[in-house]
């Protein structure tokens, strides 16, 4: 999983899965640009990564100008961009269909779907111009395949990401840009650990009987970003303890 010499942008890097992805990529030698809304969270991630090969860029991915600035920052600061982990997103409030407010629907779609589109588009523009190929990994959780009730905007957005990633893999293949989708199941993060009893209950419904650790997701993403799998594209990278087949 050697990532030495690669510049990788990770969105949603302030905590949880994004932090673990950043830590693994850093350990494998990548130069990182951390993007998110919380500067203090990104700085904590950078501190846990260690080294001076990391920069932070406060970014709202639903804002086109900010996404453009993010990619420009990566290129100007580090000289290139070889990989993108489009991990940022929100869940939104839990509501039955009849109670979903239009502004809640739009908020989730704007960030999770449109924001990821903007991020992938800007990354691809530079990778194409750079002419060295690249790798994009989009986080599209298992709820896009096996839904949970009450999260319709989130599930619709993430399902859209699954379809978008396949379309991007097709379109960008001629430029040697690979696009794959990380499909996490129930994952142990500081947020889910704080939900009393949630992880233990969730594990009972999984074929493997255990939830996924965020660090395992980080290892899988680093593998997908590396040159070890130059022909893997358009794939669903399921790390879900069997949730999508249960």
Q: State the catalytic residues.
A: 154
State how far the Cα of 82 lies from the Cα of 236, in Å rounded to an integer. Answer: 20
Q: Is 58 left (phi over 0), alpha (psi -120 to 50) or beta?
A: beta
CB-hemisphere CA count at 13 Å for 50?
A: 4
| 3-state SS, residue 71 | helix
Q: How far, in Å, are 4, 10, 140, 204, 235 from residue 208 at the CA level?
A: 34, 29, 21, 9, 22
């Amino acid at each position: 999983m050697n990532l030495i010499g690669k510049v990788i942008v990770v969105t949603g890097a302030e905590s949880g899965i994004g932090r673990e992805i950043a830590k693994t990529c850093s350990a494998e030698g990548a130069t990182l640009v951390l993007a998110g809304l919380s500067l203090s969270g990104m700085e904590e991630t950078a501190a846990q990564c260690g080294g001076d090969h990391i920069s932070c860029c406060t970014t709202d991915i639903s804002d086109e100008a900010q996404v453009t600035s993010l990619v420009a920052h990566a290129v100007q600061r580090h000289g290139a961009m070889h990989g993108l982990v489009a991990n940022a997103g929100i869940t939104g409030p839990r509501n039955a269909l009849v109670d979903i407010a239009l502004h809640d629907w739009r908020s989730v779609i704007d960030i999770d779907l449109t924001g990821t589109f903007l991020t992938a588009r800007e990354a691809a523009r530079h990778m194409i111009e750079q002419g060295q190929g690249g790798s994009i990994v989009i986080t599209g959780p298992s709820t896009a395949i096996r839904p949970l009730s009450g999260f319709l905007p989130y599930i619709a957005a993430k399902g859209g990401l699954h379809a978008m990633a396949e379309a991007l893999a097709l379109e960008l293949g001629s430029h040697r840009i690979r696009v794959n989708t990380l499909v996490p199941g129930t994952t142990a993060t500081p947020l889910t650990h704080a939900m009393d009893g949630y992880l233990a209950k969730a594990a009972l419904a999984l074929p493997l009987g255990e939830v996924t650790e965020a660090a395992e997701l980080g290892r899988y993403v680093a593998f997908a970003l590396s040159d070890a799998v130059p022909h893997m594209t358009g794939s669903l990278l399921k790390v879900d303890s069997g949730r999508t087949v249960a």
